[in-house]
């Protein structure tokens, strides 16, 4: 079982997750929180720079694929509304693509929580499968 929580605060977003992953009968410690960009430059954490934090529960490899694609697609947005729409479109696109690859009913369904920070604004989202709120 994965525990993930997200909170929208007056100053931004707090996102947290546990660190255990079950693979068949074994448990392993794995970071479940991914912050992009992964490298921080001097003064990168300004209120204007785009940053996204992701945490997920479900099939680990599919979560990794969704997050990688979402971050890649997010970087073209020029404001927080565009970035949020680009990430949502990326998630829906991945489910459409992989839903055609897997046998019907076998496409992994994961839950993602992600927070976006840009231009002094922050938004928190939850994606249950391809549905983003």
Chain segment 35-71, per-residue pLDDT in tens = 898 776 665 556 678 999 999 988 888 999 999 999 9
**CB burial of residue 13 (10 Å; 0-12, 13-18, 19+):** buried
Which of residues 4 and 23 earns the better pLDDT score? 4
* pLDDT tens per residue, range 81-128: 999 999 999 999 999 999 999 998 899 999 999 999 999 899 999 999
Q: How many domains does the chain have?
A: 1
The more confident residue out of 75 and 20 is 75
Q: How confident is the model at residue 4 (pLDDT cuts 50, 70, 90)?
A: confident
Which segment of 6-10, 16-20, 121-125 scores lowest on mean pLDDT?
16-20
For the stretch 26-33, contacts whose Cβ atoms lie closer than 8 Å and that sit 24 or more positions apart, written own/partner, are 30/60, 32/2, 32/4, 32/56, 32/57
Percent of the chain with pLDDT over 90: 56
pTM here is 0.85
Domain assignment of residue 40, given as a range: 4-132
Residue 42 CB-half CA count within 13 A = 0
The CATH number for 127's domain is 3.60.20.10
> Tell me: the pLDDT tens digits for 65-80?
999 999 999 999 999 9
25 DSSP assignment: T
Residue 1, pLDDT score: 64
């Amino acid at each position: 079982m994965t525990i993930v929580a997200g909170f929208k605060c007056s100053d931004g977003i707090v996102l947290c997750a546990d660190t255990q992953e079950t693979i068949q009968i074994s448990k392993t410690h794995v970071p479940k929180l991914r912050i992009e960009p992964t490298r921080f430059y001097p003064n990168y954490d300004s209120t204007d720079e785009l940053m996204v934090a992701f945490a997920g529960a479900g099939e680990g490899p599919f979560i990794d694929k969704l997050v990688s694609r979402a971050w890649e697609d997010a970087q073209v947005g020029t404001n927080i509304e565009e970035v949020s729409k680009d990430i949502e479109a990326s998630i829906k696109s991945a489910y459409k693509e992989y839903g055609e690859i897997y046998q019907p009913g076998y496409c992994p369904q994961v839950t993602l929580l992600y927070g976006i920070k840009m231009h002094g604004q922050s938004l928190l989202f939850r994606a249950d499968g391809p549905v983003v709120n």
